[in-house]
Structure 1
Amino acid sequence: MNRIHKDEIVDSVPQTGFFGHPKGLFTLFFTEFWERFSYYGMRAILAFYMYYEVSKGGLGIDKNTALAIVSIYGSLVYMSGIIGGWLADRIFGTSRAVFYGGIFIMLGHIVLAMPGSLTMFFISMVLIVIGTGLLKPNVSTMVGDIYSDDDVRKDSGFSVFYMGINMGSFIAPLIVGTVGLEYNFHLGFGLAAVGMFLGLLLFVFTKKKNLGLAGTQIANPLSPTERNRMIKIVIAVVLVLGLLVYISIPRGWLTFDSFIIFVGILGFVIPFSYFFFMYRSKKTSADEKSRILAYIPLFLASVMFWAIAEQGSTILALYADTRTNLDVFGFHISPAWFQSLNPLFIIVLAPVFAWLWIKMGRKQPTIPQKFSFGILFAGISFIVILVPGYLGGTEALVNPMWLVLSIFIAVIGELCLSPVGLSATTKLAPAAFSAQTMSLWFLSNAAAQALNAQLVQYYSPENEMMYFGIIGGTAIVLSILLFIISPIILRYMKGVR
């Protein structure tokens, strides 16, 4: 197979046409916009759909179990990105991965849109996990493909693309959340399916003209021998898993609880297997081994942060629904709307933080210190949300501004940690494992949500002060510890600041 040089790919893409950026950014921006609209629209009402009574259009699942399922689902979405990246690199390329992923996501939302049983619900979750794993990592890779390596617009292009993500995330709960909660859950899920369908239409009809050769090349294709071996492995794995499920369910071994525990273990075993493999590899130099060691506490800090931040769609969604006064000044607030606050605050504050780091220059905090600030603000966000319970008890409805303030503080932490983490990953990654290290970074979110699946089961209005206090206090203590050991981590980073 003839290899296409990066310059040929870039030359095939019209280099102007979207706010001074390559025309392909238009296609990828709106593909990701609609994918995020569908994902966050569905997620805005997912927990409510599961724990609302059947008479209210829900599934009637126990609240804590429902929240655990949402967390497990989020964890599996991030884990599936590893498989999606591998399939794109070895079998069909990023462009086809994005298209196939969109198809699976749309089908998953269509299944959710049809009233059905709990079995149908889980089929939809499997479809969406597979689809998101195919689309999410590969659409980002295609953004990099449309720029040459020395193009000064590249960082700006990713910033524009990131805005598309947050714009889709912002409007989805407002639209899908309102329709799902005020009218019908299945109609809301149907809107999510329509959103992904629009994204697919745009991608299919504009990719040839706007993206050229971007995403069409298979980075490391399987040889015929490897392909035959992989087919045999996949068939064997599917048969073994099918047999295990067939045996486990009648005997009561495979239950919600046991599956939650299994994914929780998997959430940490996979990333630390990555760490071990990269550290032991002969392709990793001595300095790179040192940087891997420095990356471990940053990874754990990221897990702590996302364990709090990702509770916006679980515990804080429940808090908005059951503990918050949603009628203010004669106006009714949908509990799903609070999930639009995170992307809204990011859209507003991200340019401020970008300016701040540039303004501070060499005086800005080091990477480990920024991580410590990230989990500090995350911890404070949970301390803030326990205050109204302390002041007025856990039975009185809470002013919604407490929830707004908590989310705002968590976003400050996110902007200290999330974009910095992406940058740190590219700097600390061993040369031979640069792409896999980026996958490892996203696995910190998978590990966090796997952890959340255990944590959310301990929440109830009666012990909410203890719940928020222990988790928030733990984050604050860890932030102080990380700040103290930052100089040690910095030494292991071997020149990376």
Structure 2
Amino acid sequence: MRTSTMDVTVWRLVGLVAAAVVVSLIFAFSQDDALSALVNIITALTIIVPAVFFIWMYRSPKVTPTERANLLPYLLLLGALVLYNLLYFQSGNTLNLLALNGVDNEIFGFNYPSTWYISLAAIVEIIMGPVLAWLWIKLGSRQPHVAAKVGLGAVLGGIGFLVVALGASLTPGGALMSGAWLVICYVFLGLGDLTLQTSGMSATTKLAPRAFASQTMALWFAAMALAQGIQAQVVKFYELESSVFYFGIQGLVVVAYGLLLMALTPYLKKRMTSVA
């Protein structure tokens, strides 16, 4: 059985990425600051791989003109995914550090571990998942377009970070922030993740070129890896004393992008086919 041209291309791409990783590891561990060098190279790989993958798919002769037209608006959805997860993935580092060193983790005399906050987003998604599904079914054809849903998810995530920035700004110097601010932040992050991820993955299956159905879903997850790569650089700027600016600037950027995506919804609705 002859191997298809597509299979050969995919394996070549896999081989190139694997070779790049090996070379990166060798280079990283040959530097004085091996860990920083490795992080920088991995960040570069998370940018290069999805970019190359998208260009390869976009230029493929197997993609029809209509499918190709869908891919450009899809890039805007991927942008929202990257920016949102830039915030969401910080629940394991900067938000956790803030909870550990800058938050009063006590309620009614009971001291609780700072790590408890991390589970809040998942709890919100478990509770609100059925509610959101019921809402979309109830709205039927009146529900927002997928671009508006993804934009709304990004806005909700950005608000979560703005809440933390507000809490930090209202907390007197040297005092511990109330845990309520982090609780509200994680509620918004959970709602944002639920809204953006479900809508974005649904759009992925509908916008994917017929010849690249599974590969387009892989691109969605590659964009999440890209968010991790960018985050690895951004967290270097975190300091407890600069929490207002650190969380505030990121929150503003993500909210602005989400609002932009929502404003562009009428245009994107015309450009996207087979997507409601």
Of residues 365, 368, 383, the one that matches 2:144 is: 365
Partner of 2:127: 348
Larger radius of gyration, structure 1 or 2? 1
Q: Are the structure 2 counterparts of residues 248 and 450 from structure 1 closer, same or farther at C-alpha, using a change threshold of 3 Å?
A: closer
Letter of the 1:465 partner, please give it.
V
Partner of 1:431: 210
Instruction: Summarize the alignment of residues 198-209 of structure 1 with structure 2, pairs less than 5 Å apart.
Output: none
Instruction: Summarize the alignment of residues 343-422 of structure 1 with structure 2, pairs less than 5 Å apart.
Output: 343-422=122-201
Instruction: Summarize the alignment of residues 81-480 of structure 1 with structure 2, pairs less than 5 Å apart.
Output: 237=19, 241=22, 245=25, 249-252=29-32, 255-480=34-259
- The alpha carbon displacement at 1:237 in A equals 3.9
- The alpha carbon displacement at 1:241 in A equals 3.0
Distance, in Å, in 2 between the alignment partners of 1:332 and 1:430 is: 53
Letter of the 1:418 partner, please give it.
Q
Instruction: Summarize the alignment of residues 18-97 of structure 1 with structure 2, pairs less than 5 Å apart.
Output: none
Q: Are the structure 2 counterparts of residues 318 and 434 from structure 1 closer, same or farther at C-alpha, using a change threshold of 3 Å?
A: same
Q: Are the structure 2 counterparts of residues 245 and 481 from structure 1 closer, same or farther at C-alpha, using a change threshold of 3 Å?
A: closer
Deviations, residues 78-124 of structure 1 (Å, cap 9, x unaligned): xxxxxxxxxxxxxxxxxxxxxxxxxxxxxxxxxxxxxxxxxxxxxxx
Q: Are the structure 2 counterparts of residues 318 and 431 from structure 1 closer, same or farther at C-alpha, using a change threshold of 3 Å?
A: same
Letter of the 1:337 partner, please give it.
W
1:483 correspondence with 2:253: no
- The alpha carbon displacement at 1:249 in A equals 3.5
Partner of 1:493: 272
Q: Are the structure 2 counterparts of residues 472 and 251 from structure 1 closer, same or farther at C-alpha, using a change threshold of 3 Å?
A: closer
What percentage of aligned pairs have identical amino acids?
33
Equivalent pairs counted in the alignment come to 268
Q: Is the 8 A contact 2:28 2:35 kept in 1?
A: no
Q: Could you tell me the TM-score, scaled by structure 2's length?
A: 0.89
Q: Is the 8 A contact 1:294 1:490 kept in 2?
A: no
Q: Are the structure 2 counterparts of residues 251 and 325 from structure 1 closer, same or farther at C-alpha, using a change threshold of 3 Å?
A: closer
- The alpha carbon displacement at 1:443 in A equals 1.4
Letter of the 1:350 partner, please give it.
G
Q: Is the 8 A contact 1:376 1:479 kept in 2?
A: yes
SS in 1 for 2:260: helix
Q: Are the structure 2 counterparts of residues 330 and 263 from structure 1 closer, same or farther at C-alpha, using a change threshold of 3 Å?
A: same
- The alpha carbon displacement at 1:470 in A equals 0.5
Distance, in Å, in 2 between the alignment partners of 1:427 and 1:473 is: 30
Q: Is the 8 A contact 2:28 2:37 kept in 1?
A: no
Q: Could you tell me the TM-score, scaled by structure 1's length?
A: 0.51
Distance, in Å, in 1 between the alignment partners of 2:188 and 2:246 is: 18
Deviations, residues 217-266 of structure 1 (Å, cap 9, x unaligned): xxx999xxx8xx99xx69x949x937x755664453x6222222222222
Whose relative contact order is higher, 1 or 2, with alpha carbons under 8 Å and at least 6 apart?
2
Distance, in Å, in 2 between the alignment partners of 1:375 and 1:394 is: 31
Letter of the 1:241 partner, please give it.
V
Q: Are the structure 2 counterparts of residues 251 and 399 from structure 1 closer, same or farther at C-alpha, using a change threshold of 3 Å?
A: closer
Q: Are the structure 2 counterparts of residues 247 and 355 from structure 1 closer, same or farther at C-alpha, using a change threshold of 3 Å?
A: closer
Structure 2: state its 5+ residue gaps. none
